[in-house]
Amino acid sequence: MNQKYKDYYSYRLLEIIPGLLIWATFVGAVIISILSPIIGIYIIIAFDVYWVLRVTYLTIFLVMSWFQYQKARRVSWWPKLQADFSGWSEYYHIIFLPTAGEPLSIVETTFNNLANIVNYDKKKMIVVLAGEERKTEQFAEVTENILAKHESIFYKILITTHPDNIPGEIAGKGSNLFNAGHEAKKYIDAEKIDYKKIIVSTFDIDTITHPDYFAYLTYKFLSHANPYRASFQPMAFYNNNIWKSDVITRIVANSTTFWLLTDLARPARLFTFSSHSMSWQALVDVGFWQNNIVTEDSRIFLQCLIHYDGDYQVEPMHIPVSMNTVYVGTFWRSMKNQYRQMRRWAYGVEHFPYMVWHFRLAKKMPRTKKWIYIWNQTEGVYSWATAPLIILIMGQLPLYVAEKQHLTTVLTQNAPLIMEALMRYGMFGLLIVAFLSVTILPPLPPQKNKYYKFYIYPWMFAQWIIFPVTMIIFGSVPAVDAQTRLMFGKYLGFWVTEKVKE
């Protein structure tokens, strides 16, 4: 067998491992529950205790991040930047906005947000609007409107079009950004702008930045010990259409926000996610975004980590960007979109084989760092797929079998009470999450009913009662789906989140 085929089968084996782990867990749980329900009960109680302790641990980090957010939002970053760094004006911001047929109203809202920024010099901004050839007619209409209204506001609005049907590419955001990055490089080279004086932000097309985002980002960049070896990850809110969204899309969106918040308090675990920023120099060094994967937003961090032999990190930013939930006006279409979005995010499991394969070749990268990242990735996708199903559904199986087999012991009689007590304790963390979710809501929209606020805020708190259900349907199930697809080589293409006119 030649080396090409050896490499193929070796990489396929790595792709199989995550899915194999979760299905071995599910099958093993069923077998143990049937053959030895008493042992199964012990395992479930131990598993529940572990997760109660872990929820407590994660809640502490969540609260820490929330306080950091409250602290950061009280600072006037624009005057602080000007006072502390006299050379701030030497730096440029490139903002990549990839689009694939989104309505003009969505794109216009994003550009209006950038155009209305008063806490930064917009003449230091180069905005790259990156479209797709397959949407040429619609994209031409969008660009015509955007250029007519906004071209004079920024240093430059650069329009790029990603060609269709390029061999080896996956049509999606990563390949669009790959093309846009190379086109932007041509422009920057022609303008003779110093690579080390450019900060890149990659945003989803519906991203609305905090008014202080660019001042805060520039401050973090200039105050960092080595900003060319760091990405900068803001908080991710989904507040743009939160008041219009249904209860399920709100819960799932806010769950994503709080998951990221816990990681922001633990920078050693951080990957880049969705909208984020980094240095142009690093982006050029790694050859821009990978154009043949689904989850390019986090892969770009791994590209940098490997390229710089482990000398790369993600710096948390405690100021948010806000995006849309998947709500599109009808309930069932929104549910379908929500599932697809979560499955796409869960397809980040594709990083596991990439990490193992390339870490093996990265001889200068510290071995401890390799194992930490591999463990965090493996444990993260494994828990995402298995924990809710085991705790809320499969954990009942050994109790059911013990009852059917008439196994009456002190353990079988008390196990339901123990598990119920653990669940109640775990709900304390959910109460904290529910409270924090209310504190990050945007201002209320104009309402004819003056009493609206008196029932909407209690409802926004109470809605978290359905969180256990959403954890399974829009957490475990799409994660199992994604990992199973990778295991069988049924690779997931890039699905563009549907966005509706505002």
The one-digit pLDDT tens for each residue of the chain (502 residues) are 456 667 889 999 999 999 999 999 999 999 999 999 999 999 999 999 999 999 999 999 999 999 999 999 999 999 999 999 999 999 999 999 999 999 999 999 999 999 999 999 999 999 999 999 999 999 999 999 999 999 999 999 999 999 998 998 988 899 999 999 999 999 999 999 999 999 999 999 999 999 999 999 999 999 999 999 999 999 999 999 999 999 999 999 999 999 999 999 998 889 999 999 999 999 999 999 999 999 999 999 999 999 999 999 999 999 999 999 999 989 999 999 999 999 999 999 999 999 999 999 999 999 999 999 999 999 999 999 999 999 999 989 998 888 888 777 877 788 888 888 888 888 889 999 999 999 999 998 887 677 788 888 999 999 999 999 999 999 999 999 999 999 999 998 876 676 665 5
Q: Does 3.90.550.10 match the CATH number of domain 85-333? A: yes
Place of tokens 């709500």: 327
Output the six-digit token pair for 237: 């809110």
Contact of 275 with 201, CB cutoff 8 Å = yes
- Distance CA(36)–CA(153), nearest Å, equals 70
Q: Which of the 8 DSSP states describes residue 119?
A: S
Would you kindly state where each structural domain of the chain is located, as residue ranges? 85-333
* Distance in Å from the first CA to the final CA of the chain: 57
Output the six-digit token pair for 449: 């009913």
pLDDT at 445: 83
Concatenate the DSSP letters of all residues of 184-230 into one string: HHHHHHHHT--GGGEEEEE--TT-EE-TTHHHHHHHHHHHSS-GGGE
- Distance CA(236)–CA(50), nearest Å, equals 28
pLDDT at 78: 98
pLDDT at 343: 96
Q: What angle do CA 387, 388, 391 make, to 5 degrees?
A: 80
- Distance CA(218)–CA(376), nearest Å, equals 29
Q: Enumerate residues 6+ apart whose C-beta is below 8 A from 439.
A: 66
Q: What is the pTM of this model?
A: 0.94
